[in-house]
Chains A and B, each alone.
Chain A
């Protein structure tokens, strides 16, 4: 069953906005004079109006200029996000392969081959100079790959893998971030 004030409360938004025609406005005013509940409801309406009405204007990114989009442009939809994720994943997968290789050749890391067992490992035929050269090659490739990742992807990558990232990759990502910042500046 509707409250006796229900009809009045429905009119309060227009009443507070000054949009209510004269006959209804007078009826509401007369009711408000005798009903404390509706006066409280009007106060809530005024508070809502004040808080939402005084929300600051926020600035969007620079405006889209006519002609700025190529014909095949698509905005960020879930599908395009998925594509971006897949392309980022491909990059990440490449990085991980390199990480595994780096781990294999980096002394002191859990996956590294110790000198004592190196004779039985496939790397036994590698000279120290070749290993060092390979490590430099991997580090350079990591840096290049990391630079292909966007800032958001790099951060997301960090947050997904956290502290599991080997130092060589963390360094590359960090360096690439600073390099990209420098490029932009």
Chain B
């Protein structure tokens, strides 16, 4: 792989992928780990990935690593009573910092998204933040486009429940619907 080409992708995509991982994971250190691992994999397998497919490949790897990281955190959270190096690192890093320049609405939305499955969170970030079309997401994740569509639709409904919990509004909708 041409080092100059790789360097170009490193600088161009790193921040965008890091931001996507950060908005899925809501943890700076986890997002850093994910991006580091993704680019390390890219560097470890030169020639295996066609140059033109690197962006899609990176998005898929970051997506999968974010899911892995979320599951790992859940597993670690179950092991109460043991020295938890991850928890110590989090403690050492201080209280979880809100990424810069987020509005209160954005912060509230990202917090509500934590109730969604990591796969769905990642799809939302891919579409709305990274600007990927639904068919592109389906292609990158090897899913049927209808599946992506349904997941976004369900996510929107879940978010509505999280962000608009007023039973009156829901009842009114049921009556008129």
Q: Measuring CB to CB, which residues of chain A are less than 8 angstroms from any residue of chain B?
A: 3, 5, 9-14, 17, 19, 36-37, 40-41, 44-45, 48-49, 51-61, 63-66, 69, 73, 75-76, 78, 81-82, 84-85, 89, 151-156, 159-160
Given contacts A58-B99, A66-B6, A152-B93, contact A85 B88 (CB under 8 A): yes
B89 x A156 contact (CB < 8 A): yes
User: Which B residues have a C-beta under 8 Å from some C-beta of A?
Assistant: 3, 6-7, 10-11, 14-16, 18-19, 22-23, 31-33, 35-37, 39-40, 43, 72, 76, 83, 85-86, 88-89, 91-94, 99-103, 105-106, 109, 124-125, 127-129, 131, 133-135, 149-150, 152-153, 156, 159-160, 173, 176-177
Decide yes or no: A76 and B92 within 8 Å by CB, A10-B153, A13-B149, A89-B83 being known contacts. Answer: no
Query: Is B14's CB under 8 angstroms from A56's CB?
Result: no
Contacts of A57 in B (CB 8 A): 15-16, 19
Q: Which 10 A-B pairs have the closest CB atoms?
A: A52-B128, A152-B92, A60-B18, A85-B85, A156-B88, A155-B92, A58-B19, A56-B101, A81-B85, A156-B92
Task: Please pick, from B10, B149, B173, the residue contacting A37 in the complex, using a CB distance under 8 A.
Answer: B173
Nearest neighbor of A11 in chain B, beta-carbon distance: B149
Is there contact, CB below 8 Å, between B85 and A84?
Answer: yes
Docked complex Cα distance between A9 and B22 (Å): 29
Complex Cα distance A76/B32, Å? 10
Interface majority SS (helix, strand, loop, mixed), chain A: helix
Contact (Cβ within 8 A) B15 A60: yes
Contacts of B127 in A (CB 8 A): 13, 17
Q: Please name the residue on chain A nearest to B44 by beta carbon.
A: A69
> Which among A19, A41, A61, A85 is the interface contact of B83 at CB below 8 angstroms?
A85
Choose among A55, A66, A152 the residue that contacts B89 (Cβ–Cβ < 8 A).
A152
- CB of B160 within 8 A of CB of A44, answer yes
User: A76, B150: Cβ atoms under 8 Å?
Assistant: no
Given A56-B101, A66-B6, A152-B93, CB of A45 within 8 Å of CB of B156: yes
Do residues A63 and B11 form an inter-chain contact, with CB atoms below 8 A?
yes
Cβ-defined partner of A64 (8 Å) among B10, B85, B89, B92:
B10
Cβ A5 vs Cβ B156 within 8 A: no
- The reply to whether A52 and B129 contact each other, CB–CB distance below 8 Å, is yes
Distance in angstroms from B176 CB to nearest chain A CB is 7
Residues on A with beta carbons closer than 8 Å to the beta carbon of B153: 9-10, 12-13
